[in-house]
Amino acid sequence: MDIIHPQVSDYLLDNCTPADEVLRDLAAETRKALPDQAPMQISQDEGAFLTMLVQLVGARQAVEVGVFTGYSAICIARGLPADGRLIACDVSEEWTSVARRYWDRADLTDRIDLRIAPAAETLRALPADPVIDFAFIDADKVNYLVYYEELVPRLRPGGLIVLDNVLREGRVLDLTFDEAPDVAMRQLNAAVVNDDRVDSVMLPVRDGVTLARKR
Protein backbone atom coordinates (compact mmCIF):
# COMPACT_ATOMS: atom_id res chain seq x y z
CA MET A 1 0.00 0.00 0.00
CA ASP A 2 1.23 3.52 -0.80
CA ILE A 3 0.78 5.35 2.50
CA ILE A 4 1.10 8.62 0.60
CA HIS A 5 0.38 9.08 -3.11
CA PRO A 6 3.76 8.86 -4.94
CA GLN A 7 3.38 12.36 -6.43
CA VAL A 8 2.72 13.81 -2.97
CA SER A 9 5.62 11.79 -1.61
CA ASP A 10 8.03 13.37 -4.15
CA TYR A 11 6.59 16.80 -3.42
CA LEU A 12 7.23 16.30 0.31
CA LEU A 13 10.86 15.42 -0.41
CA ASP A 14 11.25 18.53 -2.55
CA ASN A 15 9.82 20.80 0.12
CA CYS A 16 11.84 20.22 3.24
CA THR A 17 15.35 21.26 4.26
CA PRO A 18 17.57 19.45 1.76
CA ALA A 19 20.19 16.90 2.83
CA ASP A 20 23.71 18.32 2.87
CA GLU A 21 26.68 16.81 1.01
CA VAL A 22 27.61 14.41 3.84
CA LEU A 23 24.10 12.91 3.98
CA ARG A 24 23.83 12.79 0.18
CA ASP A 25 27.17 10.98 -0.11
CA LEU A 26 26.21 8.57 2.69
CA ALA A 27 22.92 7.74 0.96
CA ALA A 28 24.72 7.24 -2.37
CA GLU A 29 27.44 5.02 -0.87
CA THR A 30 24.84 2.94 1.01
CA ARG A 31 22.81 2.42 -2.20
CA LYS A 32 25.93 1.38 -4.12
CA ALA A 33 27.60 -0.83 -1.50
CA LEU A 34 24.47 -2.33 0.09
CA PRO A 35 21.71 -2.21 -2.55
CA ASP A 36 19.58 -4.88 -0.85
CA GLN A 37 19.67 -3.20 2.57
CA ALA A 38 19.68 0.45 1.47
CA PRO A 39 15.87 0.83 1.71
CA MET A 40 16.30 0.45 5.50
CA GLN A 41 17.86 3.91 5.56
CA ILE A 42 15.54 6.73 6.56
CA SER A 43 14.67 9.31 3.91
CA GLN A 44 15.83 12.92 3.67
CA ASP A 45 12.53 14.34 4.94
CA GLU A 46 12.36 11.92 7.87
CA GLY A 47 15.94 12.92 8.68
CA ALA A 48 15.02 16.60 8.69
CA PHE A 49 12.02 15.72 10.86
CA LEU A 50 14.24 13.95 13.43
CA THR A 51 16.66 16.89 13.63
CA MET A 52 13.76 19.27 14.17
CA LEU A 53 12.15 17.07 16.86
CA VAL A 54 15.44 16.79 18.76
CA GLN A 55 15.77 20.57 18.66
CA LEU A 56 12.14 21.19 19.66
CA VAL A 57 12.47 18.85 22.65
CA GLY A 58 15.71 20.63 23.60
CA ALA A 59 17.33 17.22 23.93
CA ARG A 60 20.83 16.72 25.38
CA GLN A 61 20.70 12.97 26.01
CA ALA A 62 19.47 10.79 23.15
CA VAL A 63 19.31 7.09 22.29
CA GLU A 64 19.01 5.42 18.91
CA VAL A 65 18.13 1.75 18.41
CA GLY A 66 19.12 0.70 14.88
CA VAL A 67 22.05 2.57 13.33
CA PHE A 68 22.77 0.77 10.03
CA THR A 69 25.15 3.09 8.09
CA GLY A 70 24.47 6.05 10.35
CA TYR A 71 22.10 8.38 8.49
CA SER A 72 19.51 8.85 11.24
CA ALA A 73 22.26 9.09 13.88
CA ILE A 74 23.71 12.09 12.03
CA CYS A 75 20.27 13.71 11.89
CA ILE A 76 19.69 13.17 15.62
CA ALA A 77 23.20 14.20 16.69
CA ARG A 78 22.95 17.39 14.66
CA GLY A 79 19.93 18.44 16.70
CA LEU A 80 21.84 18.07 19.98
CA PRO A 81 23.97 20.80 21.54
CA ALA A 82 27.77 20.39 21.33
CA ASP A 83 27.88 18.74 24.76
CA GLY A 84 24.89 16.48 24.01
CA ARG A 85 25.29 12.69 23.64
CA LEU A 86 23.67 10.07 21.45
CA ILE A 87 23.96 6.44 22.54
CA ALA A 88 23.65 4.52 19.27
CA CYS A 89 22.81 0.80 19.44
CA ASP A 90 23.40 -1.78 16.74
CA VAL A 91 24.72 -5.33 16.30
CA SER A 92 26.57 -4.87 13.00
CA GLU A 93 30.26 -3.95 13.03
CA GLU A 94 30.23 -4.01 9.23
CA TRP A 95 27.39 -1.53 8.66
CA THR A 96 28.38 0.77 11.51
CA SER A 97 31.95 0.98 10.16
CA VAL A 98 30.43 3.00 7.32
CA ALA A 99 28.55 5.09 9.92
CA ARG A 100 31.77 5.86 11.82
CA ARG A 101 33.42 7.25 8.68
CA TYR A 102 30.53 9.59 7.99
CA TRP A 103 30.18 10.68 11.65
CA ASP A 104 33.83 11.62 11.47
CA ARG A 105 33.24 13.58 8.27
CA ALA A 106 30.25 15.32 9.86
CA ASP A 107 32.42 16.16 12.90
CA LEU A 108 30.02 14.29 15.18
CA THR A 109 32.23 11.49 16.47
CA ASP A 110 32.54 13.08 19.92
CA ARG A 111 28.76 13.34 20.21
CA ILE A 112 27.95 9.68 19.33
CA ASP A 113 28.63 6.70 21.59
CA LEU A 114 28.23 3.53 19.50
CA ARG A 115 27.36 0.37 21.45
CA ILE A 116 27.71 -2.88 19.50
CA ALA A 117 25.49 -5.46 21.25
CA PRO A 118 21.86 -6.58 21.13
CA ALA A 119 20.03 -3.34 21.93
CA ALA A 120 17.94 -4.92 24.72
CA GLU A 121 21.20 -5.61 26.61
CA THR A 122 22.52 -2.09 26.02
CA LEU A 123 19.27 -0.47 27.16
CA ARG A 124 18.93 -2.68 30.26
CA ALA A 125 22.47 -1.67 31.29
CA LEU A 126 21.64 2.06 31.18
CA PRO A 127 21.08 3.84 34.51
CA ALA A 128 17.45 3.67 35.65
CA ASP A 129 17.24 7.47 36.15
CA PRO A 130 14.79 9.33 33.89
CA VAL A 131 17.41 11.38 32.05
CA ILE A 132 16.80 10.50 28.39
CA ASP A 133 15.28 13.36 26.39
CA PHE A 134 14.86 11.72 23.01
CA ALA A 135 14.88 8.16 21.59
CA PHE A 136 14.49 6.79 18.07
CA ILE A 137 13.59 3.12 17.54
CA ASP A 138 14.31 1.71 14.06
CA ALA A 139 15.65 -1.84 14.48
CA ASP A 140 14.27 -5.40 14.53
CA LYS A 141 10.50 -5.01 14.61
CA VAL A 142 9.77 -7.97 16.90
CA ASN A 143 11.66 -6.28 19.74
CA TYR A 144 10.21 -2.76 19.48
CA LEU A 145 8.02 -3.30 22.53
CA VAL A 146 11.03 -4.52 24.54
CA TYR A 147 12.95 -1.36 23.57
CA TYR A 148 9.94 0.86 24.29
CA GLU A 149 9.46 -0.68 27.76
CA GLU A 150 13.14 -0.17 28.59
CA LEU A 151 13.08 3.42 27.35
CA VAL A 152 9.83 4.85 28.77
CA PRO A 153 10.90 4.66 32.45
CA ARG A 154 14.25 6.24 31.53
CA LEU A 155 12.60 9.14 29.66
CA ARG A 156 12.24 12.44 31.49
CA PRO A 157 8.76 14.01 31.60
CA GLY A 158 8.31 15.79 28.26
CA GLY A 159 10.84 13.48 26.61
CA LEU A 160 10.00 11.90 23.28
CA ILE A 161 10.22 8.39 21.78
CA VAL A 162 9.96 8.18 17.99
CA LEU A 163 9.04 4.78 16.53
CA ASP A 164 9.61 4.09 12.83
CA ASN A 165 7.76 1.75 10.42
CA VAL A 166 4.63 1.54 12.55
CA LEU A 167 2.45 1.05 9.44
CA ARG A 168 4.65 -1.62 7.81
CA GLU A 169 3.52 -0.50 4.34
CA GLY A 170 -0.08 -0.96 5.43
CA ARG A 171 0.33 -4.55 6.60
CA VAL A 172 -0.75 -3.65 10.16
CA LEU A 173 -4.23 -2.88 8.77
CA ASP A 174 -4.76 -6.32 7.22
CA LEU A 175 -4.88 -9.29 9.62
CA THR A 176 -4.04 -11.73 6.81
CA PHE A 177 -0.45 -10.45 7.17
CA ASP A 178 0.55 -12.50 10.19
CA GLU A 179 4.33 -12.74 10.10
CA ALA A 180 6.05 -12.09 13.41
CA PRO A 181 6.99 -8.44 12.62
CA ASP A 182 3.39 -7.67 11.54
CA VAL A 183 1.92 -9.17 14.72
CA ALA A 184 4.57 -7.46 16.86
CA MET A 185 3.90 -4.06 15.31
CA ARG A 186 0.13 -4.38 15.88
CA GLN A 187 0.84 -5.27 19.53
CA LEU A 188 3.21 -2.34 19.88
CA ASN A 189 0.73 0.13 18.36
CA ALA A 190 -2.01 -1.08 20.73
CA ALA A 191 0.34 -0.89 23.71
CA VAL A 192 1.42 2.69 22.94
CA VAL A 193 -2.07 4.06 22.37
CA ASN A 194 -3.24 2.46 25.65
CA ASP A 195 -0.17 3.54 27.65
CA ASP A 196 -1.20 6.20 30.17
CA ARG A 197 2.46 7.16 30.76
CA VAL A 198 2.55 8.89 27.35
CA ASP A 199 0.59 11.00 24.91
CA SER A 200 1.00 9.67 21.38
CA VAL A 201 0.32 10.52 17.78
CA MET A 202 0.80 8.32 14.71
CA LEU A 203 1.80 10.17 11.55
CA PRO A 204 1.88 9.07 7.89
CA VAL A 205 5.54 10.05 7.55
CA ARG A 206 7.07 7.53 5.09
CA ASP A 207 6.32 4.08 6.57
CA GLY A 208 4.49 5.54 9.56
CA VAL A 209 6.04 7.23 12.58
CA THR A 210 4.64 7.30 16.12
CA LEU A 211 5.62 10.07 18.52
CA ALA A 212 5.18 9.13 22.19
CA ARG A 213 5.73 11.97 24.68
CA LYS A 214 6.17 11.12 28.35
CA ARG A 215 3.61 12.79 30.60
Ligand X SMILES: C[S@@+](CC[C@H](N)C(=O)[O-])C[C@H]1O[C@@H](n2cnc3c(N)ncnc32)[C@H](O)[C@@H]1O
Query: Which residues make up the interface to ligand X (CB under 6 A)?
Result: 40-42, 66-69, 71-72, 89-92, 95, 118-119, 138-140, 143
Q: Which is nearer to ligand X, 7 or 143 (CB)?
A: 143
Residue closer to ligand X, measured from CB, 69 or 189: 69
How far is the C-alpha of 210 from the C-alpha of 41, rounded, in Å?
A: 17
Least spacing, CB of residue 196 vs ligand X, in Å: 28
Choose between 140 and 175: whose C-beta lies nearer to ligand X. 140
Question: Strands 155-164, 209-214: parallel, antiparallel or unpaired by DSSP?
Answer: antiparallel
The smaller minimum CB distance to ligand X, of residues 43 and 189, is found at 43
C-alpha count within 13 angstroms, C-beta hemisphere, residue 55: 9
Of the pair 28, 175, the CB lying nearest ligand X is at 28
Q: What string of H, E and C letters represents the secondary structure of 80-137?
A: CCCCCEEEEEECCHHHHHHHHHHHHHCCCHHHEEEEECCHHHHHHCCCCCCCEEEEEE
Nearest distance, CB of residue 67 and ligand X, angstroms: 6
- Please tell me the distance from the alpha carbon of residue 50 to that of residue 22, in angstroms, as a whole number: 16
Task: Give the Cα separation of 148 and 150 in Å (integer).
Answer: 5
Q: Work out how close the CB of 40 gets to ligand X at its nearest, in angstroms, rounded to a whole number.
A: 4
Q: How far apart are CB 155 and ligand X at their closest, in Å?
A: 19
CB atoms within 10 A of CB 147: 25
Shortest spacing between CB 114 and ligand X, in angstroms: 11
Query: Is residue 58 helix, strand or coil?
Result: coil
